[in-house]
Amino acid sequence: MIQSHCEKYLQRGKPIHLAQRVNDTAYSIVAQYQSEYVGIVQYYKLAYNVSQLSKLKGVMQHSLTKTLAKKYKTNVAEIYRRYRALHHNEYGTYKVLEVKVDRGPDKAPLKAHFGGVPLRKNRWVTIHDELTRPIWSPRSELIERLLAQRCELCGNTEKVEVHHLRKLADLERRGRNERPKWMSRMASRKRKSLVVCQNCHNQIHYGRYAGPGIKK
């Protein structure tokens, strides 16, 4: 099982960078790796030998540093120097790789880290068997739009979420009725993500959204 999970981050037996993630922000890259790692560890928490997942962590961390090094055209040692940090939780203090996104003087910075997960058996853990959702961050200004904490359709600042498309081609299906304004704007801007409030998000998914297009 461990080897099968490692294969995603290996080439010819060695950790490699993931080219499909190089264009994402550092924050999104680290958050994606951590999300995948935590999901695997949490799933196998009941295993008596869960500590053996340290091999997977090593492979993923090496792949992560290589991906960041490829993004910034530097070396792995520089990535460790730039992002190494200490993470404190109820289980102790861990060495991690951490990325911070400043949000100004009035808000705490966004943080994403890799590591800091205890590899200890827990027979009382509650298993949440859910698929890991990808954390999208294409070349667009997604991080900036998220930091604005404002719905791009109605301007609401409450319960802001992100609406995702699997691919842009989904906006151009033949036989579809006239597209709503939000869909037309996403297609024109070649966006696969849209920052919306919970109300607009629900209306989009239920096919009932008929309001204005993306606000500038």
136 domain-assigned: no
Same domain assignment for residues 108 and 150 = no
Same domain, 10 and 95: yes
Do 167 and 75 share a structural domain?
A: no
Distance CA 82, CA 84 (A): 6
- For residue 128, being part of any structural domain is answered with no
Assess if residue 129 is contained within a domain.
no
Residue 120 has what pLDDT?
84
Three-class DSSP category at 140: coil
Note down pLDDT in tens along the chain; length 216 residues.
999 999 999 999 999 999 989 988 999 999 999 999 999 998 888 888 999 999 999 999 999 999 999 999 999 999 999 999 999 988 889 999 999 999 888 888 999 999 999 998 776 656 555 555 554 444 444 565 565 577 877 888 777 777 766 554 555 555 555 556 555 555 555 556 777 888 888 887 777 666 655 544
Q: Specify if 104 maps to a domain.
A: yes
Contact 153, 211 (CB under 8 A): yes
Residue whose entry in the numeric block shows the structure tokens 């999104």: 28
State the total domains in the chain. Answer: 2
Q: Is residue 127 part of a domain?
A: no
Q: Do 109 and 151 share a domain, yes or no? A: no
CA distance 141 to 118: 34
Residue with tokens 């606000």: 215
Residue 135 domain-assigned (yes or no):
no
Domain encompassing residue 22: 2-114
Shared domain for 79 and 148, answered yes or no, is no
Contact 102/91 with Cβ under 8 angstroms?
no
Q: What is the pLDDT of residue 216?
A: 43
87 and 174 co-located in one domain: no
Smallest CA-to-CA distance from 163 within 184, 185, 188, 192 is with 192
Is residue 213 a part of any domain in this protein? no
Residue 17 and residue 105 in one domain: yes
Do 10 and 74 have their domain in common?
yes
Nearest C-alpha neighbor of 138 from the set 109, 162, 161:
162
Same domain, 43 and 101: yes
Cβ-Cβ contacts under 8 Å for 199 (sequence gap 6 or more): 154, 156, 159
Complete DSSP assignment for 15-55:
E---GGGTTS-HHHHHHHHHHHHHHHHHHTTT-TTGGGGHH
Q: Point out the domain boundary residue: 95, 114, 133.
A: 114
Looking at the domain assignment, is residue 215 inside a domain?
no
How high is the pLDDT of residue 215?
46
Q: Are residues 64 and 156 in the same domain?
A: no
7 & 99 share domain: yes
Q: Does 184 lie in the same domain as 107?
A: no
